[in-house]
Structure 1
């Protein structure tokens, strides 16, 4: 019932990992629930944007791209890119690339989750311009 930050690159990386948010709220909640990617060019005009949750992270984006982290069991979480370049948001090839990266990230998230459940360290460092990976918990 929650989304938990599993990995963060950029602003907030030192305090967001492990932070929990309701899975049914915001853009990430919608992507997790629907299993569909989403691009929002202007979050000020998006009714589904949970500004209060963004403000609690100390970073409020103007735009975002989000893709579900899918595996055989369903949606594991959401990969978000905050404030992507305007050309990335307008090109379907970029959304396909995000979806591809999300599929790869789902495998990594599944591995980390399994390792944590076994009581073994599961930290994985990923730095590719990704702002947040949130996993369902």
Structure 2
């Protein structure tokens, strides 16, 4: 049973990686403080569970040991040091909180093309923190820590 679930997750991750490739000129990214928000029109959100402590290393937001980026419409509140969600999601999460939500992990080499300033910010954060992966995170609508 575990092997079947694991294999299914690998297949889903592979399909989503192809679906979210940055070859499309429509993909855009926005940098707002340490928040990097990415919009990929027509792409579905990956459905993996992502979790970890949200931390700020220098100018880089991290979820666990991965550089984190967020869906379009996400912004930064410097006063409360919180990530603010909007658009498809609502709520916030503060730096120092444990985050549990949806998303997916990406290899930076395959993902950052075509994102302009946002891609550069994610690449720079990977280099500055030594992170080997990027993680797209969005809140689980039933459990939003730090709200």
Q: Structure 1 length normalisation: TM-score?
A: 0.27
Q: Structure 2 length normalisation: TM-score?
A: 0.26
- Greater relative contact order, per chain length (Cα 8 Å cut-off, separation 6+): 1
Greater fraction of residues in helix: 1
Greater fraction of residues in strand: 2
